[in-house]
Homo-oligomer: A and B are copies of this chain.
Amino acid sequence: MKLIKNAAGRMVPDVVNGIESIPYKGINGHKPDGRNYGGPIRSCADYPADGNKVVPGLKEALIKAGIKDGMTISTHHHLRNGDVVTNQLFDIIHELGIKGVRWFPSASFPCHEHLIPYLEDGTIHHIEGSMNGPLGRYTSYGKMKGLGVLRSHGGRYQSVQDGEVHIDIAVIASPTADPFGNANGVSGNSACGLIGFALADSEYADRVIVVTDNLVPFPCIPWQIQGNNVDYVVQVDSLGDASKIVSGTTEVTKSPDRLLIAEYVAQFIEDAGLMKDGFSFQAGAGGTNLAFVLYLKERMKAKNVKARFVRGGSTKYLVQLLEEGLTDYILDGQTFDLEGVRSMRENPRHINTSPFTSYNFHGKGNFASIVDVAVLGATEVDVNFNANVVSHSDGLLLHGIGGWQNCLFSKCTILAIPSFRDRIPVIVDDVMTLCGPGELIDVIITERGIAINPLRKDLLECVKNSSLPIKEIGEIKSEVERICGGKPALPTRDLNEPVAVVKWVDGTVLDSVFKVIE
Interface contact A180-B38, CB-CB below 8 Å: no
Task: Give which listed residue, B39, B163, B349, B364, contacts A181 with CB less than 8 A.
Answer: B364
Q: Which listed residue (B44, B217, B278, B365) contacts A278, Cβ 8 A? A: B217
Q: Once the chains bind, are A44 and B362 in contact (CB under 8 Å)?
A: yes
- A219 and B351 within 8 A (CB): yes
Contacts of A309 in B (CB 8 A): 218-219
| B43 near A228: Cβ-Cβ < 8 Å | no
With contacts A162-B41, A369-B49, A370-B51 known, is A221 near B351, CB below 8 A? Answer: yes
Chain B residues with CB below 8 A from A161, complex form: 41
User: Chain B's nearest CB lies how many Å from the CB of A430?
Assistant: 27
Cα distance A267–B49 when bound, in Å?
A: 26
One complex includes copies of this chain to the number of 2
Q: Which residue of B lies closest to A42 (CB)?
A: B364
Question: Which residue from B43, B217, B362 sits with its C-beta under 8 Å from A361?
Answer: B43
Q: Is A356 on the interface with B (CB-CB < 8 A)?
A: yes
A366 within 8 Å of B by Cβ?
yes
Q: Using Cβ atoms and an 8 Å threshold, which residues of chain B touch A360?
A: 228
A308 to chain B: which residues have CB within 8 Å? 217-219
The smallest C-beta distance from A330 to any residue of chain B, in angstroms, reads 11
| Alpha-carbon separation in the docked complex, A356 to B42 (Å) | 13
Chain A 3-46: CB-based contact to B (< 8 A → 1; otherwise 0): 00000000000000000000000001011111111111111110
- Mask for A153-168, Cβ within 8 A of B = 1, else 0? 0000000011100000
Query: CA of A9 to CA of B188 in the docked complex: distance in angstroms?
Result: 52
A384 at the interface (CB under 8 A from B): no
> For residue A45, which residue of chain B has the nearest CB?
B28
Contact B365 A51, beta carbon cutoff 8 Å:
yes
Contact residues of A: prevailing secondary structure: loop
Of the candidates B226, B227, B506, the one whose C-beta lies within 8 Å of that of A43 is B506
- Smallest distance from the beta carbon of A484 to chain B beta carbons, Å? 38
Shortest A389–chain B CB gap in Å is 21
- Which residues of B lie under 8 Å from residue A342 when comparing CB positions? none
Does chain B have a CB within 8 A of A329? yes
Q: Does A381 contact B (CB under 8 A)?
A: no
Query: Within 8 Å of chain B (Cβ to Cβ): is A348?
Result: yes
Bound-complex Cα distance A462 to B48 (A): 24
**When the two chains form their complex, are residues B219 and A363 in contact, meaning their CB atoms are under 8 A apart?**
no
Q: Which residues of B contact A33 (CB under 8 A)?
A: 41
- Decide if A357 is an interface residue (CB 8 Å cutoff): yes
B228:A365 contact, CB within 8 angstroms: yes
Report whether A365 and B35 are in contact in the complex, using a CB–CB cutoff of 8 Å. no
Cβ of A41: which chain B residues have Cβ within 8 Å of it? 32-36, 161-162, 362
The verdict on A94 contacting chain B, using a C-beta distance below 8 Å, is no
- Given known contacts A36-B38, A231-B364, A31 and B51 CB-to-CB distance under 8 angstroms: no
A514 within 8 A of B: no
Residues on B with C-beta less than 8 A from A34 are 40-41
**Are A364 and B230 within 8 A (Cβ)?**
yes
Output the least CB separation between A275 and chain B (Å).
17
In the complex, which of the residues A38, A217, A364, A369 has the most CB atoms of chain B within 10 Å of its own CB atom? A364
Q: Residues 214-244 of chain A: 1 if any B CB is under 8 Å from the residue's CB, otherwise 0?
A: 0001110101001111110000000000000
Top 6 closest pairs, chain A to chain B, by CB: A36-B38, A38-B38, A28-B45, A51-B370, A47-B365, A32-B41
Q: Supply 16 A–B pairs (Cβ within 8 Å), ascending by A.
A: A32-B42, A35-B40, A35-B41, A36-B40, A36-B41, A44-B369, A44-B409, A47-B365, A50-B370, A51-B367, A219-B351, A221-B351, A223-B357, A228-B365, A228-B366, A229-B363
- Chain A residues proximal to chain B, CB less than 8 Å: 28, 30-45, 47-51, 53, 161-163, 180-181, 208, 217-219, 221, 223, 226-231, 278, 308-309, 329, 331, 348-349, 351, 356-357, 360-367, 369-370, 409, 411, 506
